Amino acid sequence: MNLDEEECAICGVSLGDKYTHTLKCNHKFHYECLLKTFTSTNNKYDKKKRCPYCKTKCDHLPLINGIIKPIQYIHYTTYDELNNLEIVNKPCKYVIKKGKRKGEECGKKCKIGYDYCSSHIKFDK
């Protein structure tokens, strides 16, 4: 890892390795790390989510590709909000270059936050 690369303050891995989200306090984390932190047992019933670093109150996490089931108090608060959410669950859009599926889209489940699966994520950069 390059010394200039920022790391996720939750897991310590480079922010470039996974999809990231910047909170309104401008602290940036892996989306998956925030999701796990906000859904942990300590935070499960806390309706006011806070930045893991500075404890500033946070808004709901945005619903991104790969999130199949929105979580109450993390993605929405009321059921009216849930009804207005647009669940985005697009399959991998990489077009196969050779073989019997040449010209077809891959169609596998995407990595969270991306339009490509783990096999084809390198084409999203």
Tell me the pLDDT tens digit for each residue of 12-67: 999 988 999 999 999 999 999 999 999 885 655 566 789 999 999 988 999 999 88
CB 74 within 8 A of CB 23: no
Does the structure show a pLDDT above 90 at 105?
Answer: yes
User: What is the pLDDT at residue 1?
Assistant: 47
Residues 70-81, mean pLDDT to the nearest whole number: 86
**Whether the predicted pLDDT of 77 surpasses 90:** no
CA distances in angstroms from 107 to 18, 89, 101, 117, listed in the order given: 20, 11, 11, 8
